[in-house]
Amino acid sequence: MMDADTMVLPRLGPADVGVEDPWGEDRSARPRRAAARVAAGAGRWRIAVWLLPALLTGGLGGAGLGTPGLRTEELATWRAATSPWRDVWAGDRTLAPYHLLVRGWAELFGAGDVALRVPSLLAMTAAAALVGALAARMFAPGTGLLAGALLAVLPSTTRYAQEAQPHASALFAAVLATWLLLPVLDRPTARRLAAYAGAVVLLGLCQPGALLLLAGHGWVVLAFRRATAGRWLAAALPGVLVVAALLRSGARVDGGLLPPGVRVDPGVLAATPRELFGVAALGAVLAGLALFSLPLRYAAAICTAWALVPALGLLLVARVVPVWAPAGLLFTVPAWAVLAAVAMSRLRVHGAVAGLAAVALVGAPAQVSVRGPDGHGQDPRRVAAIVDGLGRRGDGVLYGDPATRTLVARYVPADRRPVDVLATGSVDVFAIRPGLDCGGCDVAARRLWLIQPGHPPVGRAPGGGDGAAMRALRAGYRPARVWRPAGFTVVLLTDQRRTSP
């Protein structure tokens, strides 16, 4: 009896492909291959992939660190850094963790402009180093070096490394959380989950909106490691609960629950690449390069989810409530840098270097601009110079926003400041008497300074309304001179019903 013919079926793909690895790219062998690549070039790459991006970021961010004046949001940081500890917590609760950090920093290093910005510079420098190490871990050492260098040369990296705001810290926390996600995906031990949970809590404390990163991480978990989803969710939950508590307490204190922003429209979306990357063209270049890092392989999928899913989530929310703020998506920029580096690493060394040089060249004008006196979009020192140089004893002042009051307190010497007339009198003082009482001066204020953020029509607040400035105009004060330094409007009002002394 003859044996039946045996049919041998060819293997159509990896034997271990499953629903949690839809692209058939299980990472079981990847750590060994990555380790072999790093070991082969340990002398050249192991230190360079994080050290060179760190040095480049620190050098670019440190150059001209104190030249731009503190913009209005940074002035709030300065106010917190110079206030009693209890007053820091009584302010904006979503910013309270960052303000407490800066308050402690100011105890050690002072509250000068440069001192307040150093924590952001350190955070951005550490983030660039970690991006280089992360990309080297996920792809190859050369890719890591390119990714870190790309992040370093972006004008937006320099801009936010020089700003006393939590954006740089949130960017670092996002990179750290993604770095710690990788071992969780490989083997979710209790220690790895605890480390990841700590990074998520740090991310939420730095910037509550940055927890949108969890949407991208969750997508990766569901796509590749579905069996790990429950443990990942348990690790992510503490950060969410901490932020929820901050938002709830903030709503009780000041009535605000969501961070300020704007509603989405085509103009706002068109301006987003310039805000995120410093130059709109760089956003297009990085997005184009990112396309070449696809299809959605495992490592590229992690960065793609990091870059896109939080932005899509914020876009959906912003269609309902006005919370769209490009700076709130700064933590996604490292993902774009990594994806662009993946594409560039497919070129020869000379081509990759040329591409990096081209990105740096395109961003060079913005790098110069960001270090100017108005490099952060506002020129508070120019406002102070106008008031200090042209002010007279007995002048009064009206502020269109609390931040402008802080501006004068920060940059105008105490003995040269005009008197805040509404701080010592009734808000309806214009309706009570024809002349303004100069807070205890012997004569009524014949001249009033009006300082407003933005460039609204003279006498109008940026959001409209009938404020103290309009009541001053109705009381007989008329604009004598108007200045419009970057980001502000300064008006000198004189009482037309009184003769000059």
**Full pLDDT tens readout for the chain, 501 residues:** 444 444 443 443 344 444 444 434 444 445 545 555 545 555 567 788 999 999 999 999 999 999 999 999 999 999 999 999 888 887 777 888 999 999 999 999 999 999 999 999 999 999 999 999 999 999 989 999 999 999 999 999 999 999 999 999 999 999 999 999 999 999 999 999 999 999 999 999 999 989 999 999 999 999 889 999 999 999 999 989 988 887 777 644 444 445 566 666 676 677 777 777 777 677 677 766 665 555 446 788 899 889 988 988 888 887 777 777 888 899 999 999 999 998 888 888 898 999 999 999 999 999 999 999 998 889 999 999 999 999 888 898 988 788 889 999 999 999 899 988 876 443 333 333 344 443 443 336 788 899 988 887 765 555 444 466 666 676 678 888 999 999 999 999 888 766 454
Whole-number pLDDT of residue 289: 67
Best CA proximity match to 131, nearest among 109, 116, 103, 152: 152
| Mode of pairing for the β-strands spanning 447-453 and 488-495 | antiparallel
Whole-number pLDDT of residue 426: 38
Q: Which two tokens stand for residue 93?
A: 């609760």
- CA dihedral for 197, 257, 120, 84, sign (positive or negative): negative
Whole-number pLDDT of residue 54: 97
Distance CA 349, CA 263 (A): 44
Best CA proximity match to 449, nearest among 497, 410, 488: 488
Phi-psi domain of 487 (left: phi exceeds 0; alpha: psi -120 through 50; beta: other): left
Distance CA 59, CA 80 (A): 28
Whole-number pLDDT of residue 121: 98
Whole-number pLDDT of residue 233: 95
Backbone angles phi, psi at 495, to 5 degrees: -80, 105
Distance CA 418, CA 398 (A): 9
Q: Map 390-441 to HEC letters.
A: HCCCCCEEEECCHHHHHHHHHHCCHHHCCEEHHHHCCCCHHHHCCCECCCCC
Residue pointed to by tokens 């939080």? 310
DSSP sequence for 195-221: HHHHHHHHHHHH-GGGGGHHHHHHHHH
